[in-house]
Amino acid sequence: MRFKSPTFNLHIFTKHKHMDLSTLAQTLTLHRTESPAVANADDSLCSETTETSPPEPSLKKESSFFGSPDEYLNREARIEKSWSYWKNLGEPKLIVAPMVDNSELPFRILCRNHGAEAAYTPMLHSRIFSENAKYRSEEFTTCKEDRPLFVQFCANNPETLLEAVRRVEAYCDYIDINLGCPQRIARRGNYGAFLMDNLPLIKSLVEKLAYNLHIPVSCKIRIFPDLQDTLNYAKMLEDAGCSLLAVHGRTRDEKDGKKIRANWAAIRAVKNELKIPVLANGNIRHMDDVKNCLEQTGADGVLSAESLLENPALFAGFKTVDQGDLVVEYLKLCEKYPVPWRMIRSHVYKMLVEWFRVHPQVREDLNKQSKLTFEFLYDMVDRLRVLGVTRPLCEGTVSEEKDGGQASLCRELGTGVET
């Protein structure tokens, strides 16, 4: 048996409640976990995994990030503490956005290796996270290099949300509430951007966390069609206890980021209205966009999603990248930090989309693999290198007409949706 590097996941609970992360990393017990039989091989973990134990949720009335129940901080003091906390983290400006099945640990580390200064987890469903140990152990993993880290949850019940986030607050820097997912599943589940129709509920979610957690609460939102509604919304979140706000400059109905430009002017208006740190999301395809966005919005940082999927080295400023090198680096991280094969398949498709456009026969061979292996994927990259393609990634994303239908395939896989 070959031991893997320590990874933190949420499977069982034991006694490590008060240890810091470095101490806990030294006390890990490594052992093999057999993957259960599953109908789809892509849902199984790619290799051996390790398990560790998060702190038992505390039932005691303790001081929160904003003080004790006897004396909470006033508004000015809350804002001052929010800024102090952000500055102590180094004020990261280049941030990996939350993406369904795509901002998992190996990909976050890959992006950090190439310029990203902070990252979000994929959106976690608070009720399922509270109830399902398998979901916890597979969907949330981290390691000591994975900081600063935002752990994002969707929810529509304050108590359920609090129960879920208590399990991870010791392993991250912010708990983020997803208020921006515009997909149909969010409509059906009554979360994400569809809570914009129920602002009192949103306020209760933020207040529940802000006054019960030891770390700050952030929110990620979309804008309303009316600017004043957006400003009132953002102000309400700040007043409720949100310590950092990420603003996606599109409305709930503007789902196609390739066709609809994000509204940076609306983000700037939010930044001017609020006193807490504000992050900008939308239209970040390369480092020129980062510079322009920061200048035009005044934001304290930017988030990128889809563009990072094609070029995880975007934040390093590289205009021409050997996608094969990035894929190999990613695969090695997956061997170190196991994830379900469906995530690996999705990333390989997106990082190699330009190579597949030139050599569709290689893509077809990948499509035929019902069960992936690392050996197959490493050999596939070598094969593409022999065929010979290296293309600049900063020139924009590939249209669906050019990519052999790969964009639609990724949508069918249900991956890469920014939350």
CATH of residue 235: 3.20.20.70
Predicted confidence at residue 50, as pLDDT, reads: 45
Provide the domain limits for residue 192.
Answer: 67-313
- pLDDT interval class at 419 (50, 70, 90): confident
Same domain, 198 and 258: yes
Same domain, 291 and 367: no
Residue 177 host element (H or E): strand 174-179
User: In a 3-state reduction of DSSP, which class is residue 393?
Assistant: coil
The domain total for the chain is: 2
Same domain, 191 and 292: yes
Same domain, 249 and 199: yes
Which burial class, exposed, middle or buried, applies to 81 when counting CB atoms under 10 A from its CB (0-12, 13-18, 19+)? Answer: middle
* Residue 18 belongs to a domain: no
Among residues 143, 181, 334, 394, the one annotated as catalytic is 181
Measured in whole angstroms, the distance separating CA 49 from the mean position of its chain's CA atoms is: 21
Q: End of a domain among 283, 313, 343? A: 313
List residues bridging with 92 in a β-sheet: none
Which burial class, exposed, middle or buried, applies to 64 when counting CB atoms under 10 A from its CB (0-12, 13-18, 19+)? Answer: buried
Predicted confidence at residue 327, as pLDDT, reads: 97
350-383 pLDDT tens trace: 999 989 999 999 999 999 999 999 999 999 999 9
143 is known as an active-site residue:
no
Measured in whole angstroms, the distance separating CA 141 from the mean position of its chain's CA atoms is: 12
Average pLDDT over residues 28-49: 49
Q: End of a domain among 313, 335, 365? A: 313
- How confident is the prediction for the chain on average, in pLDDT? 84
Same domain, 256 and 344: no
Average pLDDT over residues 233-258: 94
Of 55-59, 72-76, 89-93, 241-245, the one with minimum mean pLDDT is: 55-59
Average pLDDT over residues 45-54: 52
Predicted confidence at residue 304, as pLDDT, reads: 97
Predicted TM-score (pTM) of the model is: 0.84
CA angle 111, 55, 221 (to 5 degrees): 45
Predicted confidence at residue 198, as pLDDT, reads: 97
Predicted confidence at residue 212, as pLDDT, reads: 96
Where residue 365 falls (left for φ over 0; alpha for ψ -120 to 50; beta otherwise) is alpha
List residues bridging with 45 in a β-sheet: 340
Same domain, 163 and 220: yes
